[in-house]
Amino acid sequence: MEGLRNDGRRWNELRRIHCQLSTSSTNADGSSYIEQGFTKVLCNVTGPAEPSNRQRVKQDSATVSCEVYFAAFSGTDRIKRGRNDKKVQELQTAIQKTFSSIILTHLFARSEITISIHILSQDGGTLAACINAATLALIDAGIPMTDYVCACTAGQSTSIFDNEGASPDPWLDVNYLEESDIPSLTVATVGDSEKIVALSMENKVRIEALEAMIAVGISGCARVRGIMDKEVRRYGKEKLEAEGE
Amino acid sequence: MSPLTPEITLCPLPQTDGSCQYTCPTSRTTILTSVNGPLEVRAKDELPNDATIEVIVKPGIGVGGVRETRLSTLLQTTLKSLILTTHHPRTLIQIVAQIVQSEDHTSIPLLLSPLLNSTILSLLIAGIPLRTTGWSIHLAVLPANTPIPAAHKDTILPNEEGESAEEGAMETDEGEGREVIVRNPGRVLLSKAKSSHTLVFSKEGQMLLIESVECSEGVGGESADGQGWDIEEWLRIMRIAKGLCCGEGVEVVRDALGDRKIF
Amino acid sequence: MPKEPEISLTEKTFVLEALKQNLRVDGRDLQSFRDIQLTFGDDYGFVDVRLGKTRVLARISAEVTKPRPDRQFEGMFTITTEMGPMASPVFEIGRPTELDHTLSRLLEKSIRRSTALDVESLCIVTGKRVWSLRADVHFLSHDGNLTDTACIAVITALAHFRLPVVTVSGEDITIHSVTERVPVPLSLLHWPICVTFSFFGEDEGGDMVCAIDATAQEEALRMGDMTVTVNKNGEVCQISKSGGVAVEAEVLMRCARLAAGKVKVVDKLIAEALREDEVRRNKGNLDWLKEGKSENER
Amino acid sequence: MPIQIIAPAPFLSAEEEEEEFQVEEDEGGVPLDLDNDGDTAMDGVAASKRKQGRQAAGIVTPGEIVTDDPQWMRGHGTYLSSPTADGESQSIVSSLAGTISKTNKLLSIRALRFRYVPEIGDLVVGRILEVQTKRWRVDIAAPHSAALLLSSINLPGGILRKRTSTDELQIRTFFSEGDLLVAEVQTLNSDGQASLHTRSLKYGKLRNGYFMTIDAGMVRRMKSHVLTMNTSNGGGEVDIYLGVNGYIYIAKHTTPLTEGGVESKSVSITRLEEEASEAIYSNVNEDISPETRAEIARIGCVLRALVKANVKIDEEMLNLGYEAALEEFLEGFDWGSDTEAGKRVVDLALAKRRMG
């Protein structure tokens, strides 16, 4: 395999990203849809609005709450993930905490911003796609944030050091097959800076290889931001032209 | 500290109003109880002129099941008569008991008496108003001529007043020998018992709880075809238990609290 | 139970200011654990871990069951964690908090997913009988850093646990009681240990203040946290930084290396405690093979 | 409106994707006259070096430095970047995607889409969420639900007196849960929660009509937000309440209350008491002729079509849109959201405006 992966991509090639803003504009303040390869995620944002239950009200800032719904047909195994399924809970907490530090919550005291995410199809990098979709939906909802939050996955092809200690060559944006085969991690950065908001890795990796994977992940995030930014500007231009007349 | 007195550490848990770790030396059972109260109570279980007593028993192995609910109801009914609930109306007294160690996590008789003692001590430390203090003891009646290992010699109780423990044991080898009553037996002895009685007496001698169980197919089930007990034997057990709880029990509580210099 | 009361502003500024000057309220330096005390009980597979005021019990129990149809040759290993009002009034039975979910997911990823316990060694008769191990973690007192304490407790309990010897003759399986055959330890491939870092924002110099093993008060003030699970031969089993303040990649890598170092210290400490208990257990009661339970003096 | 997912754009192979990035860089975009802030001097490095503001058609996105010129005052939608170590002065960074608006030294960002932020004097349409002791909580699509005090509504029959406890007991006779009303924002409290009043005859309970919601930003602020249109093919007069908060109510025109009760014709505002009849809080709809219903539906569809094409709504656009819809002879009631017919109507309306 001279440097090509099973879906024909080179090691540093992102899967095709198609993103779209305000897909369902009537029932949500902001909405977005993103496709990264075959991972497809739909996101609706409502808020800042009256909080639904009382004790989650914070006096000096808005509370960000998140709900994630896995479509039963989204994965290879048709399982219905209920409300207190551990994986769903983990995703919800990760997204909620990521955006609580990014959104300027102090502007909307005692209100609630709800991010609801529907995962239509999973082909690896589910957490990354959810974070990107949430960023776009928040921008579409006009909720002030310090910067984009872009996420990307990175894997490491040679999981163990081959004997002559060749440096591990990391892969960018792993799909489901690669994710279940080689160790991989998801990293989310603030805009195209090097600052990491979220980092999650579930398999065993040598500590030396870790640095290379994170570096590749961050560069992937910068490029994802570029693509998302292009789409936001295109959408903005289209909206302004209509109004401009 | 004779080998019969329980090991008690008061207030091992800093976050609680009152807590106690209680280890019964003979039955090798360790219980850690924490008491929080009087606290804010959830609207749905609020009582107009009483404190609500919530008892949660957490098992050593596995998650709470039917056995734990049984234990917590036993505890709750006994404590209701001990705690002056009218002093703190519309509040919650929350008691959590964690079974730290036990020779057999599935046997209620083994766990009940240490649970009660540990909770009573925690309530005392937590400063919850009590009508009186109480103490609990678990007695098991073994059929005649059952071999008792040396280590457990001291847990045998004299059958009649005045008869010393040794004669009690001697008794057994004369053919028609009498049953032997053992206090806070371990798993092995309990499996040989005919019947098990857990009793709680207040220091004034009032009876708060009796939980008498025939052991034929209960714990272990190896015992002889347990015929349970007849009324005289039962009354004798009551008298012995009352003597122990009001005498020795009160002693232990006072010692435990005594070395708490803060009083 | 009412929500944990909010930290007062004066307390908050005091603690944060101290942290920014590399000082901690309890005098520790930012990169050190509180002292870890491991006490063992009578039977194998039980440990009581104390990390400062935080206290966690872990107990391993085993039973023989049929294996899962899709995993014929593997035993089963589950970890159950349940936080009750004993640990702190914030927790209520039956209503799992966010911490519950994060913690059980972390233990799942750190210990089960990273195959610390070789489940194939639990197999007695493929397809028919396997050992099903269960680790119960009880939280007795919560003064911060439940994750690391729970992980240390489970790993120590697993290392301390002894499995009864089983002989298979044809169809029937005989499980030898503790007194007939000396029970055999589990086959642990490696000891994954969690180290949790708390981030408190940037000090004057502009670099991120991060501390290990935060107390409950520090946990209430931190702006972000990250848990790295490493074993002593430098393999990172999992990392999870789920949100919170953004931190430079360089700082995260520094934390990971620091964690690797710290884990070696904790690893040694656990091994030491286990050896001590072994010595005490054998010396103390030669009547180990005699009738009844071991009666070691306290 | 069902979720609309447009087919993904044709797949650009990696190389094209790369150069498209480059091309984007140099294209000037709308030069922004941020006086001495030479931002267009973008060196050709890849997107990540784009710390300086890069404006394609005057749009900024979150995280983009708008200016680091200290003389600008920071307004809505921006924040100060934390002082970087090398002492570079703090720059104003945008926190929204939208266009920069500069009003004499105050720099703020107008977002493309945003949730309605109540201001004093806005005419809003709202729905009663909850009845409390002396007040109602009203949903007006704002961050906080608005409050309508019992003391700030007209009593039936226009009597002017202090509210007593009997009024409190009959509070549900005025408004109850789910009622629609039109009101004006009287005051705002500290965190922006509006409190409404309906103490004028043009405000009060809404009936005989159709309720719909559009984006808050799409309603242009006008002198009067209650338009009366005389519709053709026998539809009669129709009132359109264009709430600033994007809530819109299109109803059959009832003889305006200022001319007294539903029946009486006398015209005089001074004697408010006799004029506001008992019926201002009735929940009974009058019977509405099918023609009027058709016209109400047509106006609704026109509104939806205009919004779909991102055209802001004001009186002029609404009338032109209505005329265009008539010319198109569109029947049925949901052509607004389906883009084809809607697009035709909007283009026709825009053409009319250019001609007009």
A101 interfacial to chain C (CB closer than 8 Å):
yes
Tell me how long chain C is: 298
Predicted pLDDT at D52: 38
State whether D192 and D239 are in the same domain. Answer: yes
First and final C-alpha spacing in chain A: 55
Q: Which of A55, A86, A93 sits opposite C98 (nearest CB)?
A: A93
Range of the domain at C184: 9-292
In a domain? residue B1: no
Distance from CA of D162 to the nearest CA of A (A): 31
- Asked whether the CA dihedral D301, D303, D307, D309 is positive or negative, the reply is positive
Q: What is the pLDDT of residues D328-339, one digit of tens each?
A: 776 666 666 666
* Helix, strand or coil, per DSSP, at residue C196: strand
On chain D, the residues whose CB falls within 8 A of the CB of A225 are 47
| C193 within domain boundaries | yes
- How far CA D141 is from CA of A65, D56, D127, in Å, comes to 19, 31, 10
Kindly identify which residue of chain D lies nearest to residue C203, measuring between CA atoms: D85
Do C59 and B61 count as a contact with CB atoms less than 8 A apart?
yes
pLDDT digits 0-9 by tens, B169-190: 333 333 445 778 888 888 888 8
Q: What residue numbers bound the domain in which A84 lies?
A: 17-244
β-pairing, B180-183 vs B134-142, is: antiparallel
| Span D254-265, average pLDDT | 47
Q: Check CB contact under 8 Å for B16 and C86.
A: yes
Residue B111 located in a structural domain: yes
Q: Strands D98-103, D65-67: parallel, antiparallel or unpaired by DSSP?
A: unpaired
* Structural domain span for residue D78: 14-111
Average pLDDT over residues D107-136: 89
Nearest to A18 among D8, D63, D312 (CB): D8
Question: pLDDT at position A199, please?
Answer: 94
What was the pLDDT predicted at D31? 35
Closest by Cβ to A236, choosing from D97, D115, D139: D97
Distance from CA of D7 to the nearest CA of A (A): 9
| Residue owning tokens 């200690």 | A165
Model confidence at D85, pLDDT cuts 50, 70, 90, reads low
Q: Which residues in chain C are closer than 8 Å to B36, comparing Cβ atoms?
A: 85, 89
pLDDT at residue C254 is higher than 90: yes
**Are residues D105 and D140 both part of a single domain?**
no
pTM of the model: 0.81
pLDDT at A56: 75
**How big is chain B, counted in residues?**
263
CA distance C219 to A51: 25
**What residue spans of chain C are helical by DSSP H?**
9-20, 98-107, 146-160, 216-221, 249-284
Contacts C61 to B, Cβ<8 Å: 61
Q: C260 vs A207: CB contact, 8 Å cut-off?
A: yes
**What span, in angstroms and rounded, lies between the C-alpha atoms of A180 and A159?**
12
Closest-CA residue of A relative to C192 is: A204
In a domain, D83, yes or no: yes
The CATH number covering residue C244 comes to 3.30.230.70
Inform me whether the pLDDT recorded for D83 exceeds 70: no
Domain-terminating residue out of D111, D139, D167: D111
CB atoms within 10 A of CB D353: 15
Instruction: Say whether B195 sits in a helix, a strand or coil.
Output: strand
- CA–CA separation, A50 and A112 (whole Å): 6
* C8 DSSP 8-state letter: P
Confirm whether D136 is domain-assigned: yes
Collapsing DSSP to helix, strand or coil, B181 comes out as strand
pLDDT in tens, D20-42: 333 333 333 333 333 333 333 33
* pLDDT at site B227: 58
Is B2 part of a structural domain of the chain? no
Residue C43 sits at the chain B interface (C-beta within 8 Å):
yes
Q: What does the H/E/C string look like for chain D?
A: CCCCCCCCCCCCCHHHHHHHHHHHHHCCCCCCCCCCCCCCCCCCCCHHHCCCCCCECCEECCCCEEECCCCCEECCCEEECCCCCCCCCCCEEECCCEEEEEECCEEEEEECCCCCCCCCCCEEEEEEEEECCCEEEEECCCCCCEEEEHHHCCCHHHCCCCCCHHHHHCHHHHCCCCCEEEEEEEEECCCCCEEEECCCCCCEECCCEEEEECCHHHECCCCCCEEEEEECCCCEEEEEEECCCCEEEEEECCCCHHHCCCCCCCCCCCCHHHHCCHHHHCCCCCCCCHHHHHHHHHHHHHHHHHHHCCCCECHHHHHHHHHHHHHCCCCCCCCCCCHHHHHHHHHHHHHHHHHC
Across the interface, do A139 and D310 touch by the CB < 8 Å criterion? Answer: no
**Spatial distance between the Cα atoms of C114 and C110, rounded to a whole number of angstroms:** 6
Contact C107, C154 (CB under 8 A): yes
What is the pLDDT, as a whole number, of residue A42? Answer: 95
Query: Are the Cβ atoms of A147 and D63 closer than 8 angstroms?
Result: yes
pLDDT at D313 over 70: yes
B85: domain range?
Answer: 7-260
> d(Cα C212, Cα C260) in Å, to the nearest integer?
13
Percent of chain D with pLDDT over 70: 73
Q: Is C246 at the interface with chain A, CB within 8 A?
A: yes
Instruction: For residue D329, tell me if it sits in a domain.
Output: yes
The helix (H) or strand (E) run that includes residue C143 is none
Whether residue B113 contacts residue B24, with contact meaning beta carbons closer than 8 Å, is answered with yes
Does chain B reach chain D with at least 3 CB pairs under 8 Å?
Answer: no
What integer pLDDT is reported at residue D2 of this predicted model?
59
Q: Which of A145, A151, A147 is nearest to A198 (CA)?
A: A151
Does residue A218 lie within any of the structural domains? Answer: yes
- Which positions in chain C touch A185 (Cβ < 8 Å)? 239
Q: Is the pLDDT of residue C132 over 80?
A: yes
Do B and C touch, 3+ Cβ pairs within 8 Å? The answer is yes
User: Strand C76-82 to strand C129-141: parallel, antiparallel, or no bridges (unpaired)?
Assistant: parallel
Q: Does C2 touch chain B (CB under 8 A)?
A: yes
D278 pLDDT tier (thresholds 50, 70, 90): low
Residues of chain D found within 8 Å of residue C206, distances taken between Cβ atoms: 84-85
Q: What average pLDDT does this structure show over C26-34? A: 90
Domain presence at residue C4: no
pLDDT of residue C298: 34
C-alpha to C-alpha distance for D203 and C274, rounded to whole angstroms: 80
Please tell me the distance from the alpha carbon of residue D308 to that of residue A26, in angstroms, as a whole number.
10
> Which CATH number covers residue B86?
3.30.230.70
CB pairs under 8 A between A and C: 109
In order along chain B (263 residues), what is the average pLDDT of each group of 10 residues?
81 89 91 91 90 93 90 94 90 93 89 94 91 90 77 68 38 52 86 88 90 66 57 88 88 80 45
Helix H or strand E segment including B35: strand B29-39
B208 phi, psi to nearest 5 deg: -100, -40
Which residues from chain C sit within 8 angstroms of residue B95, using beta carbons?
none
User: C287 — phi, psi (to 5°)?
Assistant: -80, 30
**First vs last Cα of chain D: how many Å apart?**
32
Number of structural domains in chain D = 2
Secondary structure (3-state) at A187 = strand
Question: Where are the strands (E) in chain C, listed by range?
Answer: 36-40, 46-51, 54-65, 76-82, 123-125, 129-141, 162-163, 166-169, 172-175, 184-185, 193-202, 208-212, 224-230, 235-241, 247-248
Number of domains in chain B: 1
Which pair of structure tokens corresponds to residue D165? 């406890």
Q: Which of D111, D134, D165 is the last residue of a domain?
A: D111
Give a yes or no: residue D116 inside a domain.
Answer: no
Task: Tell whether omega for the bond before B38 is within 30 degrees of 0, i.e. cis.
Answer: yes
State the count of interchain CB pairs (< 8 A) between A and D: 135
CA atoms within 13 A on the CB side of C112: 16
Last residue of a domain, one of D81, D111, D141: D111
Tell me, yes or no, whether D58 and D167 share the same domain: no
Interface test with C, best of A59, A153, A196, A221 (most C CBs within 10 A): A196
Confidence of residue C2 (pLDDT cuts 50, 70, 90): low
Domain total of chain A: 1
Q: What residue in D sits closest to A241 (Cα-Cα)?
A: D310
If you measure CA to CA, which chain C residue comes closest to B191?
C292
Task: Nearest by CB to C142, from B12, B15, B98: name it.
Answer: B15
**pLDDT tens sequence across D48-67:** 333 433 444 578 888 888 88
Residue A80: predicted pLDDT = 81
Question: Contacts of residue D111 in chain A, CB cutoff 8 Å?
Answer: 142
Q: In the prediction, which pLDDT does B201 show?
A: 93
Mean pLDDT of C230-250: 91
Is A121 within the bounds of a domain? yes
Shared domain for D151 and D275, answered yes or no, is: yes
Q: What is the C-alpha separation between A86 and D197, in angstroms, rounded?
A: 48
**CB atoms C243 and A101 under 8 Å:** yes
D85 touches chain C (CB under 8 A): yes
C-alpha span between D16 and D11 (Å, rounded)? 10
Contact list in C for residue B94 (CB cut-off 8 A) is: 85, 89
Confidence of residue C77 (pLDDT cuts 50, 70, 90): very high
- CB within 8 Å of A130: residues ≥ 6 apart: A41, A43, A68, A91, A95, A117, A119
ipTM: 0.77
Which chain C residue lies closest to A217 (C-alpha atoms)? C249
Q: Do A145 and D62 touch (CB under 8 A)?
A: yes
Q: Are residues D142 and D90 in the same domain?
A: no
The answer to whether D55 and D39 are in contact (CB under 8 A) is yes
Along the 245 residues of chain A, how does pLDDT read in single tens digits?
Answer: 466 788 888 888 899 999 999 887 677 889 999 999 999 999 999 988 888 887 778 888 899 999 999 998 888 888 888 777 888 988 999 999 999 999 999 888 889 999 999 999 999 899 999 999 999 999 999 999 999 999 999 998 864 445 445 556 788 999 888 888 888 999 999 987 889 999 999 888 888 889 989 999 999 999 999 999 999 999 988 888 876 65
